[in-house]
Chain A
Amino acid sequence: MKPAPFEYIAPTSLAEALTAVHKHGSDASLLAGGQSLVPVMNFRLAQPAALIDLNNIPELDYVRREGNGQPEAASGHLHIGSMTRQRTLERHPLIAQYAPLLHEAMPYIAHPQIRNRGTIGGSLAHADPAAELPVILLALDGRVQLQKSGGARWVHGRDFYTDLFTTARAEDEILTEIELPPLPPRTGVAFTEIARRHGDYALSGVAAVVTVDERGICTAVRLVYLNAGDTPISATQAAALLVGQAASEELFTAVAHTAQQEIAPTDDIHATAKYKRHLAQVLTMRVLQQAFTRAVSA
Chain B
Amino acid sequence: MSDHTTLITVNGKTEAHAIEPRLLLSDFLRHELGLTGTHVGCEHGVCGACTVLFDGQPVRSCLMFAVQASGHEITTVEGLAQSMDNLHPLQQAFWDAHGLQCGFCTPGILMTLLPFLAENPQPTETEVREALSGNLCRCTGYQHIVDAALLAARRMEIGN
A contacts, CB < 8 Å to B: 1-8, 10, 34-35, 38-39, 42-43, 51, 53, 55, 87, 110-114, 116-117, 197-199
Taking a contact as CB atoms under 8 Å apart, the answer to whether B21 and A6 are in contact is yes
Residues of chain A contacted by B116 (CB below 8 angstroms): 112
Q: Assess the A116–B59 pair: CB atoms within 8 A.
A: yes
Q: Which of B22, B43, B57, B64 contacts A87 (CB 8 A)?
A: B57
9-residue interface stretch from B75-83, B90-98, B128-136, B152-160? B128-136
- B67 touching A198, Cβ below 8 Å: no
**A1-B43, A6-B21 known; A197-B1 Cβ under 8 A:** no
B90 to chain A, nearest CB (A): 17
Main secondary structure of the interface of B (DSSP, over half): mixed
B133 lies within 8 A of A197 (CB):
yes
Q: List 9 A-B contacts (CB under 8 A).
A: A1-B43, A5-B21, A8-B65, A34-B63, A35-B63, A113-B60, A116-B54, A117-B59, A117-B64
CB distance from A36 to the nearest CB of B (A): 9
- In Å, the complex CA distance between A116 and B72 comes to 14
Query: Given the complex, which residues of B lie within 8 Å of A199, measured CB to CB?
Result: 133-134
Which residues of the partner chain A approach B24 to less than 8 Å between Cβ atoms? Answer: 2-3, 38, 42
Which B48-71 residues have C-beta < 8 A from chain A?
Answer: 48, 51, 54, 57-60, 62-65, 67-68
- Whether the Cβ atoms of B44 and A39 lie closer than 8 Å is yes
Name the A residues within 8 Å of B63 (CB-CB). 34-35, 38-39, 114, 117
Would you call A112 and B60 a contact (CB within 8 A)? no
- Those 9 A-B pairs whose CB atoms lie nearest each other, nearest first: A111-B134, A8-B21, A39-B44, A38-B63, A3-B22, A116-B57, A5-B1, A198-B133, A113-B58
Q: A6-B21, A198-B130 are in contact. Are A39 and B67 (CB under 8 A)?
A: no
Instruction: For residue B6, give the distance in angstroms from its CB to the closest CB of chain A.
Output: 11
Give the chain A neighbours of B27 by CB distance below 8 A.
2
* Residues of B contacting A55 in the complex (Cβ-Cβ under 8 angstroms): 68
Query: Most chain-A Cβ atoms within 10 A of its Cβ — which of B21, B58, B133?
Result: B21
Distance A199 CA – B134 CA, assembled complex (angstroms): 7
How many angstroms from the CA of A144 to the CA of B54 in the assembled complex? Answer: 29
Q: Which residue in chain B gives the minimum CB-CB distance to A116?
A: B57
Task: Give the distance in Å from the alpha carbon of A196 to the alpha carbon of B48 in the complex.
Answer: 18
Instruction: Please measure, in the bound complex, the distance between the C-alpha atom of A3 and the C-alpha atom of B20, giving whole angstroms.
Output: 11
Decide if B68 touches A53 in the complex (CB within 8 Å). Answer: yes
Report B-chain residues with C-beta under 8 Å of the C-beta of A87: 57
Q: Is the CB of B45 within 8 A of A38?
A: yes
A116 proximity list for chain B (CB < 8 A): 54, 57-59
- Which residue in chain A gives the minimum CB-CB distance to B52? A113
Q: Is the CB of B48 within 8 A of A111?
A: yes
Any chain A CB within 8 A of the CB of B112?
A: yes
A43 and B134: CB pair below 8 A? no
Q: Hey, which chain B residues are within 8 Å of A43, CB to CB?
A: 44
Q: Would you give the shortest CB distance from B89 to chain A, in whole angstroms? A: 21
Give 5 A-B pairs besides A35-B45, A38-B24, A42-B44 with Cβ atoms closer than 8 angstroms. Answer: A8-B1, A34-B65, A38-B45, A113-B59, A199-B134
Nearest A residue to B4, CB-CB: A8
Against A, the Cβ 8 Å flags (1 = close, 0 = not) of B20-55 are 111010010000000000000001110010010010
Specify which chain B residues have a CB less than 8 angstroms from the CB of A5 in the assembled complex.
1, 20-22
